[in-house]
Amino acid sequence: MGSVGTHSQKQSKENNIAFICQKCKVTEKIPKDVVKQLDFMDSGDPMDPPRFSCEQCDGSMVPLYYEGLQGITYDNRHLKRKS
């Protein structure tokens, strides 16, 4: 394989942030650039993480783990389903 191989796969993982629905627990990867842009434009409470609407239900999706632009770390890994 050329220079595309596993390095680009690893890089693409790092360019996404995993979000989880607080209601149905489905996860989705959102591009980091989109999350940062939303975080930058949000003039609300900085303690509130960036959110998206869940496409599976009417729940709210929050980042599993995200270090925000204001230096706040949002850690919602406790919401993950136990295997």
Q: What is the pLDDT of residue 15?
A: 93
**How many domains does the chain divide into?**
1
Q: What is the pLDDT of residue 83?
A: 53
Q: What is the pLDDT of residue 13?
A: 52
Instruction: For the chain, 83 residues long, give each residue's pLDDT as a single digit of tens.
Output: 444 444 444 444 579 999 999 999 999 999 999 999 988 887 778 788 999 999 999 899 999 999 998 899 999 999 986 65
DSSP 6-72: HHHHHHHHHTEEEEEETTT--EEEEEHHHHHHHHHH--S-TTSPP-EE-SSSS-EEEESEEE-TTSP
Domain that holds residue 25: 5-79
